[in-house]
Amino acid sequence: MEKFEKITGVAAPMPLINIDTDMIIPKLFLKTIKRSGLGVHLFDEMRYNDDGSEKPDFVLNQPAYRNAEIIVAGDNFGCGSSREHAPWAIKDFGVKCVISTSFADIFFNNCFKNGILPIVLPQEQVDLLMKDAEKGANARMTVDLEAQEITTSDGEVVKFDVDAFKKQCLLEGLDDIGLTLKKADSIASYETMSASARPWV
């Protein structure tokens, strides 16, 4: 997995609440058997007209935000399905960090598996960052995972919490499966115990 240490980039404001996984990547694009190439379809129905042309009002179509690396979003971002195609599309577009007051559980976990940092902050701090994001391309925000700090374009610093294990995995780009396989002996002894306690499983 690609590491996440520190990024400085443009943040796109998406204040709409309940942005669901069907909005992030419609089902039409779930038929792929690959992980790559989904960025062009990110937010497809919000981003394109039926003829394939861009909707100029959509934030990521505006010149200031075409290269956004951060999204500041309304409540409950990523609600809906478990499709990992949602973070794959976000990552493929070039966004590496999403900030909101809350995320749906599965989406939140999926982000960490793909080198994306989802950050949960209280409403007033999200409001502050949303305002900063609305300033456009000249307002670049810095997200420093090691220090657990976001610095706005005005130099204002916002601290954030992150699970220690997930932080380590992102900083070092660790592969979960490799880590778990180091515990193969523990898994084997659990299976032996379980086979006698719950043989029907």
Partner 1 sequence: MTAPKTLYDKIWDAHVITEDDDGTSLLYIDRHLVHEVTSPQAFEGLRDAGRKVHAPDKTIAVPDHNVPTTLDRAGGIISNEESRIQLEALDKNARDFGVHYYPVDDVRQGIVHIVGPEQGWTLPGMTVVCGDSHTATHGAFGALAHGIGTSEVEHVLATQTLIQQKSKNMKVEITGKLRPGVTAKDVTLAVIGATGTAGGTGYVIEYCGQVIRDMSMEGRMTVCNMAIEGGARAGLIAPDETTFEYVKGRPHAPKGAEWEMALEWWKTLFTDDDAHFDKVLVLKGEDIAPVVTWGTSPEDVLPITASVPAPEDFEGGKVDAAARSLEYMGLTAGTKLTDIPINTVFIGSCTNGRIEDLRAVAEIVKGKKVADGVRALIVPGSGLVRAQAEEEGLGEIFTEAGFEWRLAGCSMCLAMNDDQLAPGDRSASTSNRNFEGRQGKGGRTHLVSPVMAAAAAITGHLTDVREML
State the number of binding residues for partner 1 (CB under 8 A): 54
User: Angle, nearest 10°, between helix axes 85-93 and 105-112?
Assistant: 50
Residue 133 found at the interface with partner 1 (CB under 8 A): no
> Hey, is 106 helix, strand or coil?
helix
Residue number, 54 or 176, with CB nearest to partner 1:
176
Residue number, 65 or 107, with CB nearest to partner 1:
107
Furthest C-alpha separation in the chain: 64
Residue 198 found at the interface with partner 1 (CB under 8 A): yes
Residue number, 26 or 94, with CB nearest to partner 1:
26
Angle at 184 between CA 181 and CA 187, to 5 degrees: 120
Contacts (Cβ under 8 Å, ≥6 apart) of 76: 17, 18, 19, 100, 102, 103, 104
From candidates 11, 59, 68, 79, binder to partner 1 by CB under 8 A: 79
Smallest CA-to-CA distance from 95 within 80, 79, 117, 128 is with 117
From candidates 147, 157, 181, 195, binder to partner 1 by CB under 8 A: 181
- Strands of the chain, DSSP E: 6-14, 70-73, 97-100, 117-120, 140-144, 149-151, 157-159
Residue 78 found at the interface with partner 1 (CB under 8 A): no
CB of 78 to partner 1, least distance (A): 11
Residue number, 9 or 169, with CB nearest to partner 1:
169
From candidates 114, 118, 141, 150, binder to partner 1 by CB under 8 A: 114
Residue 97 near residue 124 (C-beta atoms within 8 A): no
Residue 155 found at the interface with partner 1 (CB under 8 A): no
Smallest CA-to-CA distance from 90 within 158, 156, 4 is with 4
CB of 107 to partner 1, least distance (A): 8
Which residues bind to partner 1, rule: CB under 8 A?
15-18, 20, 22-23, 26-28, 30-35, 45, 74-76, 79-84, 87, 102-106, 109-110, 113-114, 163-165, 176-177, 179-181, 183, 186-187, 190-191, 194, 198-201
